[in-house]
Amino acid sequence: MTTYLAAEMNGAQFLAGNWEVALLTLGSTENHGTHLPFAQDTFVAYNIALDVAAKTEGVMVLPPVYFGMSEHYQHAPFSISLTPETMIGLISDALKSVYRWGIKRIIIINGHDGNLGPIEVATRQFKVDHPDVTIAACEKWWELPGQLLPEGTFAVWDGMGHAGEGETSIALHYFPELVQLDGAQGVVPVEPPYLSVKWLFHELTTVGTTGDPTQGTAEKGQQMAECVVNAICEFIKVMREQDWRPCR
């Protein structure tokens, strides 16, 4: 039986496959309020990757990374965090291993904000060291629905927030059995303009969430998932058309 899941694949299946693209999903294990699972970020990124591979030939899905850089979310149980240096090393080593076996098109699907810095450092250096590789990243999947879905899709804050309307919606779509909405609440923090303040999460909210999880629905989650998956599939299609060059 053909599979695109690297974790389930054996050596014969790998050698028989035409694996042009590898998807690496990065997540976290950290508090997501009282209503979403600790591995929320990992589950979402991995499910997006599975949907992309199901729609696109020649795409392998690597095992998900369940830990990220989550020190800024240590306000409430339960978080497991890697240091930035460890996260950079993990990403770099994964890229090196995939490249060693001949896959030179790698897409990172990231589910967690704390991984952004390590992704940037690891991928920039790997590209310098291996100019023939193509590395792309869907670094903030959670921003795409607000950009691509019709205005008015979301009730609060364009669906943004940690365990807010958007994350709750996509969880209700992908793994509703792990969502417990009773008592869920959130706040919309008002941050200063123009510059980015580096916060600890308890400085933004006292309830473990931002945004409004009570506005989440499975229907919105399905729309979100479809728009993100379609965007990544379209990216692969365009990159294939231009021979994986970064611009036309």
* CA neighbor of 51 nearest in space, from 240, 243, 230: 230
User: How many residues does the structure list for the chain?
Assistant: 248
Query: Thinking of the domain 6-241, which architecture would CATH place it in?
Result: 3-Layer(aba) Sandwich (3.40)
Q: Are strands 21-26 and 105-110 parallel, antiparallel or unpaired?
A: parallel
Total Cβ atoms within 10 A of residue 244: 17
Which tokens hold the place of 184? 């869920």
- Sign of the alpha-carbon torsion through 112, 114, 118, 123: positive
Quick one: pLDDT at residue 141? 98
User: Residue 99 CA to chain centroid, in angstroms?
Assistant: 21
Interval 97-143: pLDDT, tens: 999 999 999 999 999 999 999 999 999 999 999 999 999 999 999 99
Strand segments, DSSP code E, in 40-91 are: 59-61
CA dist 75 → 32, 53, 130, 206 (Å): 11, 36, 39, 9
Q: What percent of the chain has pLDDT over 90?
A: 98
DSSP letter assigned to residue 123? H
Alpha-helix runs per DSSP H in the chain: 11-16, 40-55, 84-100, 116-129, 144-148, 165-174, 218-241
Instruction: Delimit the domains of the chain by residue range.
Output: 6-241
Interval 11-21: pLDDT, tens: 999 999 999 99
* Cα–Cα dist 42/114, whole Å: 13
Quick one: pLDDT at residue 188? 96
Question: Does position 1 have pLDDT exceeding 60, yes or no?
Answer: no
Phi, psi for 135 (deg, rounded to 5): -120, 125
Interval 59-109: pLDDT, tens: 999 999 999 999 999 999 999 999 999 999 999 999 999 999 999 999 999
Quick one: pLDDT at residue 2? 66
Mean pLDDT confidence for 192-214: 96
